[in-house]
Structures are given as C-alpha cells and as structure tokens.
Amino acid sequence: MTASSADCLFCRILRGEIPATVLGRSDRTLVIADITPQAPLHALVIPRRHAEDIGAFMAGKDAEAEFADLVAQALALAKEKQIDRTGYRLVVNTGSDGGQTVGHLHIHLLAGRPMGWPPG
C-alpha cells in the first residue's frame, strides 16, 4: 500500500494529470463525476491514499476514521444534491466478481432513479 501509485488512473486524477469533474474535496478525499454515469447522479468518492481495494484500504493505519470520512463525503454530496430524501445507493465493488475495474478503492454514489435489487 502506497500513498500514490504512478500508473493508477485515480492517482493520476488526484495529481491533476487527467481531468475530471470535481464535485467535492476534503483533506483525505476527492469526489468526481463518473465518466460513464449509471444514474442521473453518479459520483465517485476517492481517498487520496492509494489502496487496491477495500481490504487493502482497511489494513491501513487509521483506516476506520478514513473510511468514515469517505462516507461523510458521500452523505454531504447527497444532501447538497437534495437526493437524501428520495434515496441513493452507496457501492464498493471489489475484485473481478465484484465488478471492480479501477484498482484504487472508491465509493460509488448513485441516485436520481429507482434502482432494483439485486443489481445486474
């Protein structure tokens, strides 16, 4: 686990090497719009610390507080976008069966349409 990874897509976005639509930021996080939105609001809450997935992330020092910060950022955006009353979905895809395509932990925030269960 490293602070930043040279060829990681989200680390490159965090360093400003690749453009993104920024929806929020904090000392520990960056919140961007997903480039292929699956819902009217589809944001990604990305920790500034590189970790391959949720397992690697939670093995880090002070990870519980960091994860709580990620969730707080998602909830703040939900409130700002006024979808906290209609509802939303927070998703952490992990590994190949979990549908993870970018190897840097992130939380999806999806909202603005009804979503079925189980997801496809």
Strand pairing report for 22-25 and 88-91? unpaired
* Position 84 contacts ligand AMP (CB under 6 A): no
Which one, of 9, 50, 6, 8, lies nearest residue 28 by Cα? 50
Figure out which of the listed residues 28, 49, 104, 106 binds Zn ion, where binding follows CB under 5 A. 104
**Whole-Å CA distances, 28 to 24, 69, 88:** 11, 8, 23
* Position 106 contacts Zn ion (CB under 5 A): no
Residues 29-58 that bind ligand AMP (CB under 6 A): 32, 34-36, 44
Of 42, 50, 104, 106, which is the active-site residue? 106
* Position 100 contacts Zn ion (CB under 5 A): no
